[in-house]
Amino acid sequence: MGLNKMKTIYFDNGATTKVDDKVIKEMHRFHSEQYGNASSIHHMGEKALKALEKSRKAIASSIKAKPNEIIFTSGGTESNNFALKGIAFASKGGKNHIITTKIEHDCVLNTCKWLEKQGFKITYLDVDKQGFVTPEMLDKAITGNTLLVSIIHGNNEIGTIQDLPALYRICKKHGAIFHTDACQSYTKTPLTSEMADMITLNAHKIHGPKGVGALYIKTGIKLVPLIHGGSHEKGLRAGTENIPAIAGFAAAVELAMHKKHVDYMENLRDYFIKEALKIPGTKLNGPTGKKRLCNNINISFRSIEGESITFSLDQAGICCSTGSACSSKSLEPSHVIMALVDDPERSHGSVRITISRFTKKQEVDFALKELKKAVKKLREISPLTPRGGKHVQ
Amino acid sequence: MYNEKIMERFKNPKHMGEIRNADAIGEVGNVRCGDIMKIYIKVKENTIADIKYKTYGCVAAIASSDFLCQLAKGKTLDEAVKITGKDVVKEMGGQVPAIKVHCSILAQDALKKAIENYRKKK
């Protein structure tokens, strides 16, 4: 059966999501009717500016921040670059130590590696077996020279949700600025401006458009801009504001901010995990319960490799990923799972399934059936499968 | 990412399996790099009479192993030992993603090792 005849089951919502129809409708209005430039002084400009500030207010209120603490960007990658480089360059000649973790998204890790070349000292914190950074670990690494601490809120691969308030307390105690990348966790777990000094947010993981995100910057924190030009976004991010995307972002947030969506995803997630772990030779990567992202499932399969599982599922119409989508075309075992435990077989054998509020139980049941078939077949091909094909848990 | 020929063979492998009383086995790769290939050969009158494989790895690793077996079956040892990764890629429709070329070379090495082991035993 060709791919075009199959029903697509989209289980890669950690990579990106379907844009909600209501969001598209909202965006369409700002593309075709109210398409003015928010910097223009005529009535079309005025309307655009109003829409911009309304969106800013909505996003600010979603994390209990003030509207003037929200800066719109082109997405999570830009927000993370801006937070790290903006603080680093604002501190020229001052403190030069930055702490991050080994399980960050590449856009934080590679920004840190680049800052290292510019003379900054970077500490990459280890995590425990479930992916947590403990306050003790941070307390040990932090010094009076620590300028910034950047720790991912909800991990994109294994779904670990960090205890931000506890980590923020340590930062405050030592006078370091605390940033968190909340791209995966936003609207999926409690998040407020009281939990960090800077927070990265984005739209396309929550059924909003690609190419738009925001950085929350607490009043009083000074950053150097990455992009120079006009006086947009208080001079911190030049370029004509992408009003259709920003309005779409705000609409997406309002649609996503319901506890019922989180409860729904949590139930499906736990059902999937429970059923998948009945397959022998499997391990869940990351924590369980409220400390795990409500849409994230990450399981390792003994004796087989994640890419071939992913492609086997793809042939049944199911989209998922191995490790994070950004690294699935590289050969390295997932840096996140390797940070949990030095076990390359577990790391290579990991598959990430990320559901959404639109996921149906029938889709989960179909995927579980196909997953069992794929694992059985690939284990028949693998030389690592124990004789007789029996894996022990 | 992969062409149809590779995906079709991945779906329906033709040479997968184990030869219980193989004359020689060639094994390459390790878990750390994510690929292990084990090639089993049965030799009759200096010719590869039967060849099978077991592979741990990605789609390209599994397909490379299968196409390698297809190429080697029926060939004399002298011919088979000359099979290269390039020949395997050609057999797979001529194109694999750049980072997967090493899988075809791994297949070449596994067969070479099996033949080497066979000759050592004799």
Please compute the mean of the pLDDT values over residues B31-41 and round it to a whole number. Answer: 93
What chain A holds in terms of domains, given with CATH numbers, is 3-18+258-379 (3.90.1150.10), 21-256 (3.40.640.10)
Bin B94: left if φ > 0, else alpha if -120 < ψ < 50, else beta: left
Residue A252 in contact with residue A34, Cβ under 8 Å?
no
Measured in angstroms, the CA of A303 and the nearest CA of chain B are apart by: 7
Please compute the mean of the pLDDT values over residues A300-311 and round it to a whole number. Answer: 95
* Chain A residues within an 8 Å CB radius of B101: none
Catalytic residue among B89, B103, B107, B110: B103
Choose the mutation target among A311, A327, A385 for the interface with B, i.e. most B CBs under 10 Å.
Answer: A311
Q: How confident is the model at residue A330 (pLDDT cuts 50, 70, 90)?
A: low
Kindly identify which residue of chain A lies nearest to residue B61, measuring between CA atoms.
A308
Residue A86's SS3 state is: helix
Rounded-to-integer distance, Cα A209 and Cα A16, Å: 9
Distance, C-alpha B17 to centroid of its chain: 12
Strands A146-150 and A97-101, bridge-based pairing: parallel
Q: Give residue A217's identity as a one-letter amino acid code.
A: I
Q: How far apart are the first and last CA of chain A?
A: 34
Q: Is B69 a catalytic residue?
A: no
What chain B holds in terms of domains, given with CATH numbers, is 4-121 (3.90.1010.10)
User: ipTM for the complex?
Assistant: 0.95
Instruction: Look up the pTM and report it.
Output: 0.94
Choose the mutation target among A1, A303, A307, A321 for the interface with B, i.e. most B CBs under 10 Å.
Answer: A307
* Helices (H) then strands (E): counts for chain B: 5, 3
Q: Is B33 a catalytic residue?
A: yes
Residue A70 in contact with residue A214, Cβ under 8 Å?
yes
Asked if the C-beta of B10 comes within 8 angstroms of chain A's C-beta atoms, the answer is yes
Identify the weakest region by mean pLDDT among A331-335, B20-24, B112-116: A331-335
Please compute the mean of the pLDDT values over residues A277-293 and round it to a whole number. Answer: 97
Residue carrying the six token digits 């075992």 = A333
Structure tokens of A157?
A: 């691969």
The partner residues of A174 in beta bridges, in order of sequence, read none
Asked if the C-beta of A314 comes within 8 angstroms of chain B's C-beta atoms, the answer is no
Strand order in the sheet with A121-125: A70-73, A213-217, A198-202, A177-181, A146-150, A97-101, A121-125
Catalytic residue among B14, B30, B33, B94: B33
Q: What is the DSSP letter of A161?
A: B
Q: What's the mean per-residue pLDDT of chain B?
A: 95
